[in-house]
Amino acid sequence: MVGRRADHRLRSKRKGSVFVVDALTSEILNGVGSFATLAIVALGLGIVFGLMGVINLAHGEFVMVGAYVAFMVQEAGRSHWLAIPIAAIVLLLLGGMIELALIRRIYQRPELTILATFGLSIVLRQLAELIFTKDFRSVVNPVPGATPALGVLYPTYRFVLIAVAVTVVVVTLLTFTRSQFGLTVQAIVADRELAESAGIRTSVVNSLAFGIGAATAGVAGALVAPLGAVEPQIGLTYLPGAFLVVIVGGVSRLWGVVLGAGIVAAVQTGAIHFADAVLAQIVSLLLAVVVLQFGRSSRSGLVA
């Protein structure tokens, strides 16, 4: 959706009116950046909810842990690019262990997953506070400055963020929809007992799926770390947006996360462009209300 619009603007740019087009191009890039961030943060939430029925209120804390991984990699004198795969691995392991220790015991009981992951989010925040204190930490932007592209000067790191986030989202979605592993997961979603009797080790697959959900959040955290302060509470600011995306896009199909992120990013960026950031927040919350109120019939498969 956003991509189509970008094409349109590019075409009109060649006809002239450079100033207006430039402002719009930048705004569209802002929208794409916002889309990429929302999509990668919401992806893990969508995976564990859509496939495992777990409402993970600790998902924001996975983002936070990813950001601290980026901070620690920097403190160890290593490149930020290294931080992204390391964050993925750390969160894959952490997510897998959490599934083993906690989530595994409460499948099929959404209300318990809410309580358990809510508790988990507190534990993770307090642990971060114990280890790192509440002080704001900063991760240095590895590519400061701006790059000329599409007729505008745009921050280089945002291009990187968009590229990495989109790649991670697409690869993860393809893994879950097109690979043997994805088929296995879908078999478990469709009928756990049947899958088990067909020889699928559901417990391993579940751990892995939850771990992958956490890993995408970890990558998101490492990616956003250079764009603000790293502190124990940053997860809380990312979680509402991620839930908004999941509500708007639905999870009956995993690609819904992409759709939801696109709609939310377009609405928010549009509202900021034509009005202001305060209105943008109001509009995106209204969007959730509208979807919840009128989108029910089209989303009845969601509870599967």
Partner 1 sequence: MIVIALLAAACGRGDNNDSDATTADIDSGSAGTSQDVEAAETDDDSDASTGPSDEPVRIGVLFSNSGPAGVFGPPVSNIGQLIEEDLNEAGGINGRPVEVVFADDASDPEVGRQAMEQLLDSDNVDVVLGTHSSATRAAAKPLAEAANVPYIYAALYEGGECSAVMFNTGEVPSQQLAPAIPWVMQETAGQKWFLLGNDYQWPRRSFELAREYIESIGGEVVGEEYVPLGTQDFASVSQQIASSGADLLFPALVGGDAVAFETQAVDFGIGQDTIARLANIYEENVLAAMGPEITAGMYVTLGYFKEVESEANMAFVERYIETFGEEAAPHATFSSHIYDAALLYASAANDAGTTETGAVIAALEGRSITTPTGDLTITDSRHLLQPIHIAEVQADGSQKIVQSFPAVEPDETCDPS
Summarize as ranges the residues that interact with partner 1 (CB under 8 A): 23, 26-27, 29-30, 33-34, 37, 49, 53, 55, 57, 110-111, 114, 118, 121-122, 125-126, 133-138, 140-141, 144-146, 153, 155-158, 224, 226-229, 231, 233-234, 236-240, 243-244, 246-247, 269, 272-273, 276-278, 281, 288, 292, 296, 299, 302-303
SS3 152: strand
Name the residue among 24, 63, 9, 66 with its Cα closest to residue 41. 63
Identity of the residue, 156 or 186, whose beta carbon is nearer to partner 1 in the bound complex: 156
Identity of the residue, 41 or 168, whose beta carbon is nearer to partner 1 in the bound complex: 41
Identity of the residue, 31 or 211, whose beta carbon is nearer to partner 1 in the bound complex: 31
CB 52, min distance to partner 1, A: 12
d(C-alpha 42, C-alpha 39), whole Å? 5
Identity of the residue, 79 or 133, whose beta carbon is nearer to partner 1 in the bound complex: 133
CB 272, min distance to partner 1, A: 4
Name the residue among 84, 92, 45 with its Cα closest to residue 223. 84
d(C-alpha 179, C-alpha 208), whole Å? 14
Identity of the residue, 203 or 276, whose beta carbon is nearer to partner 1 in the bound complex: 276
Identity of the residue, 67 or 212, whose beta carbon is nearer to partner 1 in the bound complex: 67
Rg (Cα) of the chain, in Å, rounded?
20
CB 108, min distance to partner 1, A: 12
Name the residue among 5, 60, 6 with its Cα closest to residue 245. 60
Helix H, strand E, coil C: the string for 103-119 is HHHHCCCHHHHHHHHHH
User: Is residue 229 within 8 Å of residue 138, measured between CB atoms?
Assistant: yes
d(C-alpha 185, C-alpha 134), whole Å? 39
Q: Which residues contact 266 (CB under 8 A, 6 or more apart)?
A: 1, 2, 5, 31, 35
CB 30, min distance to partner 1, A: 4
CB 155, min distance to partner 1, A: 3
The token pair at 21 is: 């087009």
CB 199, min distance to partner 1, A: 30
CB 204, min distance to partner 1, A: 25
Identity of the residue, 88 or 244, whose beta carbon is nearer to partner 1 in the bound complex: 244
